[in-house]
């Protein structure tokens, strides 16, 4: 039962209830009028009637998010955790120490609109996914009762296409692959480009490979670690992006034969790294060196420049062009779920859908 008391110039409510056989009270003041206090008390009584005990102590959004990341995301790779830190920074800039209980749907939508005004689609989607997961846990802990991220509309800017988003089509990838094979024995960098194109691995995964990861009997490569090749990465061996990134992929015979011969003809190093480079700051072929070699090779072939990461996109483009299942492509890339693959390569999937649509129409036209 609620009671209303006047405290100086404001009003306070007191709601009594039973918990585990003990009498307890919820009290809150600062209301300008008696009516406001009664309305707030009635809302509390509704929650109590449903067995929900409201969490009235303000919980700063930024503090809760940081604690949530530390508790549930500390097992992720340093690179992935960095993305959560970007989200944390955005929360601090916009919301400051505003409590979770104060934030309404329109507050969150305004935040998304402002944040997405100069961000790419993927960046906004990632931030929203982080916050939604955090808010759901806050609801489960009964800190808040409503999901202020529900039905949020994501907005973003559409920047010019980055070179990292570019890829080669099937014919262009054929031309590049033939050129790599011509130059394969002239530099270890060509072996790296070969593997990037034929495996679809991330750069950190490639430079993290050791000789023992290659199984020449079964023609497979095991991917279970990375190597720190940038200042922001941990030094030496590190974790893969997520648990799904730990995988074993089947490789073509020609690529595997090349690496078998390479291992036989070169001396191993302390860490058994495949792409060891003693003069490099991080002891492996740098991303800059690999990109320069790729750019130079593509220029000689008269092809548009792409980055080494673009070879990962090219790998996917080639597989999808040859009708390889999107489910297998997702598994081979080490994505956590197929939605990630569909989102990242939606432009390729759309092209294939249009082709399938035409085939479907032709089938029934010819029956």
The domain spans of the chain are 2-49, 61-140, 164-355
> Which pLDDT value is given to residue 164?
44
Mean pLDDT of 204-233: 95
pTM assigned to the model: 0.63
Provide the angle, in degrees to the nearest 10, between the axes of the packed helices 121-140 and 105-116: 160
Could you tell me the pLDDT band of residue 278, with boundaries at 50, 70 and 90? very high
Q: Say if CB 61 and CB 91 are below 8 A apart.
A: yes
C-alpha closest to that of 131 among 97, 90, 99, 101: 90
pLDDT one-digit tens code per residue, 122-163: 899 999 999 999 999 998 887 887 899 999 999 998 655 554
With b for 16 or more beta-carbon neighbours within 10 A and e for fewer, the 173-184 pattern comes to beebbebbeeeb
Asked whether the CA dihedral 280, 284, 287, 291 is positive or negative, the reply is: positive
Point out the least confidently predicted range of 17-26, 43-52, 356-365. 43-52
Mean pLDDT of 77-104: 91
pLDDT one-digit tens code per residue, 17-37: 787 788 888 787 888 898 988
Q: Round to whole Å and give the CA distance between 39 and 211.
A: 70
Tokens (6 digits) for 213: 């990861």
What percentage of residues in the chain have a pLDDT greater than 70?
Answer: 95
In the CATH scheme, what architecture does the domain 61-140 have? Orthogonal Bundle (1.10)
Mean pLDDT of 92-100: 92
The DSSP call for residue 157 is: -
Mean pLDDT of 241-259: 95
The answer, yes or no, to whether residue 207 has pLDDT greater than 90, is yes
Tell me which CATH code domain 164-355 carries: 1.10.443.10
Could you tell me the pLDDT band of residue 81, with boundaries at 50, 70 and 90? confident
If one counts every other C-beta atom within 10 angstroms of the C-beta of residue 124, the result is 19
Q: Say if CB 47 and CB 145 are below 8 A apart.
A: yes
Q: Round to whole Å and give the CA distance between 330 and 324.
A: 11
Q: Say if CB 5 and CB 25 are below 8 A apart.
A: no
The answer, yes or no, to whether residue 332 has pLDDT greater than 70, is yes
Place of tokens 């008391």: 5
Place of tokens 């929360």: 91
The DSSP call for residue 207 is: H
Point out the least confidently predicted range of 190-199, 213-222, 332-341, 349-358. 349-358
Q: Say if CB 49 and CB 89 are below 8 A apart.
A: no
> Which pLDDT value is given to residue 163?
45
> Which pLDDT value is given to residue 56?
63
């Amino acid at each position: 039962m609620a009671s209303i008391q006047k405290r100086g110039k404001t009003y306070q409510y007191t709601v009594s209830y039973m918990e585990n056989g003990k009498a307890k009270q919820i009290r809150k003041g600062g209301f300008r009028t008696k009516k406001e206090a009664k309305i707030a008390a009635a809302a509390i009584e509704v929650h109590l009637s449903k067995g929900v005990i409201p969490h009235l102590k303000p919980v700063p959004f930024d503090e809760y998010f940081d604690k949530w990341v530390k508790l549930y995301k500390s097992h992720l790779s340093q690179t992935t955790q960095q993305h959560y830190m970007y989200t944390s920074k955005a929360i601090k800039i916009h919301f400051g120490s505003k409590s979770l209980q104060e934030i309404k749907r329109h507050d969150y939508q305004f935040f998304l609109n402002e944040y997405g005004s100069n961000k790419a689609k993927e960046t906004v989607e990632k931030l929203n996914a982080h916050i939604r997961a955090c808010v759901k846990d806050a609801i489960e802990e009964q800190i808040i009762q409503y999901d202020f991220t529900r039905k949020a509309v994501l907005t973003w800017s559409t920047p010019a296409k980055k070179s990292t988003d570019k890829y080669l089509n099937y014919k262009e990838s054929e031309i590049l692959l033939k050129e790599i094979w011509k130059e394969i024995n002239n530099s270890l960098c060509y072996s790296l480009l070969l593997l990037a194109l034929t495996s679809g691995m991330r750069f950190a995964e490639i430079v993290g490979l050791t000789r023992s990861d290659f199984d020449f009997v079964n023609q497979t490569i095991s991917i279970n670690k990375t190597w720190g090749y940038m200042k922001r990465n941990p030094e030496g061996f590190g974790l893969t992006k997520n648990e799904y990134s730990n995988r074993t992929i089947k490789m073509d015979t020609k690529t595997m034969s090349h690496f078998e011969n390479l291992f036989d003809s070169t001396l191993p190093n302390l860490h058994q790294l495949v792409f060891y480079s003693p003069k490099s700051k991080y002891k492996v072929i740098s991303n800059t060196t690999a990109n320069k070699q790729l750019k130079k090779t593509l220029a000689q072939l008269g092809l548009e420049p792409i980055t080494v990461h673009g070879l990962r996109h090219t790998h996917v483009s080639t597989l999808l062009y040859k009708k390889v299942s999107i489910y297998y492509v997702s598994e081979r890339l080490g994505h956590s779920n197929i939605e990630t693959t569909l989102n990242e390569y939606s432009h390729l999937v759309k092209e294939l859908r249009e082709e399938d649509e035409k085939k479907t129409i032709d089938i029934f036209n010819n029956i």
